[in-house]
């Protein structure tokens, strides 16, 4: 198989990785599947029929170089990203190809911005962390809502999930983050990440219909606290999660997601409701769809497509809202998302 227009999917056998491989094939890309488990990769290739297999491990730079050789881009789906992001970014910079990941880990994303901004800029390579449901979608919505505003007082991102059946990858990422923070919580306020021991508090949030008014946990902090402030002049970013979904995530016996349609999506539905305020004026942008893991695939693949087509706004390390024209990007996701932006 030729690899001139091929995209490496690292962590291809994971739950999200499989969605991304399928989305690449629907878009006409060749997919090279990579990761540490050669047997699982071979089984995936046998199942799908037209995938090139290149095993590699994050602690072996030479194996990563072989995996990325001749490829057009790499999408990293393998958490914990605290372990994989750095080595994969470095391999992408050596190969001179774009890097996109789907990390929801706050500290891993912050480290990507801090550690690789200069090297990626000098190499002229696009590096896009958190190009996923958490971190990427909220950033695109907030950026589109900002419009011509150059600054805002605050951004509030509320996640209206009817349920959350976490994958084992999600659970492991949570355990890694918990250990790194020594059990503390994190928020973005006064222009910086702040670690604290405050308890989560409940409040009511009125989502667009049909979801309507729901109880949410305030400061249920997600990757948006890294992606939005990376390019928007906003001193406060707060995120919220519906109580039902947070309870599912916390439950040790909550099962993994189960497919209910031909695309492999679960029956989970979501609404992401973003409110941007400045000087007493509020703008609102919302998006709704099905399955937070499945929607990550078109987000990541559309990002790669745009970078390779020369439609990125910059190079170096940048979040979704900085790398792409936000409203156009969201419009391109219309087969997967219903989006309502301010006019």
pLDDT at 318 over 50: yes
Q: pLDDT digit string (tens) for 150-172?
A: 999 999 999 999 999 999 999 99
Same domain, 230 and 322: no
Question: What is d(CA 147, CA 133) in angstroms, rounded to the nearest whole number?
Answer: 21
Q: Quick one: average pLDDT of 201-217?
A: 95
Query: Tell me, what CATH number does 194's domain have?
Result: 3.30.360
pLDDT at 214 over 60: yes
Q: Is 125 in a helix, a strand, or coil? A: coil
196: in domain:
yes
Same domain, 96 and 15: yes
Same domain, 89 and 168: no
Q: Quick one: average pLDDT of 17-27?
A: 97
Instruction: Please give the radius of gyration of the chain, using alpha carbons only, rounded to the nearest integer.
Output: 19
pLDDT at 314 over 80: yes
100: in domain:
yes
Same domain, 138 and 111: no
Q: Quick one: average pLDDT of 52-66?
A: 98
Best CA proximity match to 5, nearest among 312, 308, 303: 308
Question: What is d(CA 250, CA 266) in angstroms, rounded to the nearest whole number?
Answer: 19
The total domain count for the chain is 2
pLDDT over 70, % of the chain: 99
Query: Tell me, what CATH number does 122's domain have?
Result: 3.40.50.720
Output the pLDDT for position 3: 39
Q: pLDDT digit string (tens) for 247-302?
A: 999 999 999 999 999 999 999 999 999 999 999 999 999 999 999 999 999 999 99
What pTM does this model have?
0.96
265: in domain:
yes
Same domain, 22 and 64: yes
Same domain, 74 and 102: yes
Same domain, 113 and 140: no
pLDDT at 113 over 60: yes
Question: What is d(CA 99, CA 97) in angstroms, rounded to the nearest whole number?
Answer: 7
Same domain, 138 and 52: no
322: in domain:
yes
Q: Quick one: average pLDDT of 32-39?
A: 97
Q: Quick one: average pLDDT of 315-342?
A: 97
17: in domain:
yes
Same domain, 147 and 281: yes
pLDDT at 180 over 90: no
pLDDT band at 4 (very low <50, low <70, confident <90, very high): very low
60: in domain:
yes
Burial of 192 (C-beta count, 10 Å sphere; 0-12/13-18/19+):
exposed
Output the pLDDT for position 256: 96
Beta-carbon contacts of residue 286 (< 8 Å; ≥ 6 apart): 141, 207, 208, 271, 272, 273, 274, 339, 340
Same domain, 101 and 193: no
Same domain, 162 and 265: yes
Q: Quick one: average pLDDT of 106-113?
A: 97
128: in domain:
yes
Beta-carbon contacts of residue 166 (< 8 Å; ≥ 6 apart): 174, 248, 249, 254, 256
Q: Is 50 in a helix, a strand, or coil? A: coil
Same domain, 91 and 200: no
Output the pLDDT for position 178: 87
Output the pLDDT for position 2: 41
Residue 160 lies in domain = 134-292+335-340
Q: Is 75 in a helix, a strand, or coil? A: strand
* Cβ pair 200, 218 in contact under 8 A: yes
Output the pLDDT for position 1: 38
1: in domain:
no
Q: pLDDT digit string (tens) for 219-251?
A: 999 999 999 999 999 999 999 999 999 999 999
What does the block give as tokens for 178? 């918990």
* Cβ pair 306, 329 in contact under 8 A: yes
DSSP assignment string, 93-124: HHHT--EEE----HHHHHHHHHHHHHHHHHHT
Query: Which CA distances in Å does 148 have to 142, 283, 314?
Result: 12, 12, 19
Q: Quick one: average pLDDT of 63-76?
A: 98
């Amino acid at each position: 198989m030729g690899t001139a227009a091929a995209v490496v999917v690292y962590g291809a056998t994971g739950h999200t990785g499989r969605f991304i491989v399928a989305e690449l094939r629907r878009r006409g890309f060749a997919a090279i599947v990579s990761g540490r488990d050669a047997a699982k990769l071979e089984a995936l290739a046998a199942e799908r029929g037209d995938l090139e297999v290149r095993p590699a491990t994050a602690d072996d730079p030479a194996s990563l170089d072989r995996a990325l050789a001749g490829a057009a881009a790499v999408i990293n789906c393998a958490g914990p990203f605290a372990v994989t992001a750095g080595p994969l970014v470095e391999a992408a910079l050596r190969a001179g190809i774009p890097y996109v990941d789907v990390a929801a880990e706050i500290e891993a994303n912050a480290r990507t911005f801090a550690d690789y901004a200069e090297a990626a800029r000098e190499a002229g390579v696009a590096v896009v962390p958190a190009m996923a449901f958490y971190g990427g979608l909220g950033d695109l919505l907030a950026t589109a809502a900002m419009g011509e505003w150059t600054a805002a007082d605050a951004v509030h991102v509320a996640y209206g999930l009817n349920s959350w059946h976490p994958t084992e990858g999600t659970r492991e990422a949570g355990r890694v983050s918990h250990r790194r923070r020594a059990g503390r919580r994190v928020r973005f306020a006064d222009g910086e990440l702040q670690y604290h021991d405050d308890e989560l508090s409940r409040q009511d949030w009125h989502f667009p219909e049909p979801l309507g008014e729901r109880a949410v946990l305030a400061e249920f902090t997600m990757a948006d606290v890294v992606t939005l402030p990376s390019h928007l002049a906003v001193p406060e970013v707060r995120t919220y999660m519906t109580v039902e979904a947070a309870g599912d995530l916390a439950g040790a016996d909550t099962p993994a997601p189960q497919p209910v349609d031909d695309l492999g999506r679960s029956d989970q539905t979501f609404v992401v409701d973003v409110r941007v305020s400045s000087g007493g004026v509020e703008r609102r942008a919302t998006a709704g769809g099905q399955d937070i893991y499945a929607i990550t695939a078109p987000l990541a693949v559309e990002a790669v497509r745009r970078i390779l087509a020369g439609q990125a706004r910059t190079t170096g390390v940048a979040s979704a809202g900085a790398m792409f024209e936000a409203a156009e990007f969201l419009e391109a996701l219309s087969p997967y998302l219903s989006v309502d932006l301010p006019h």
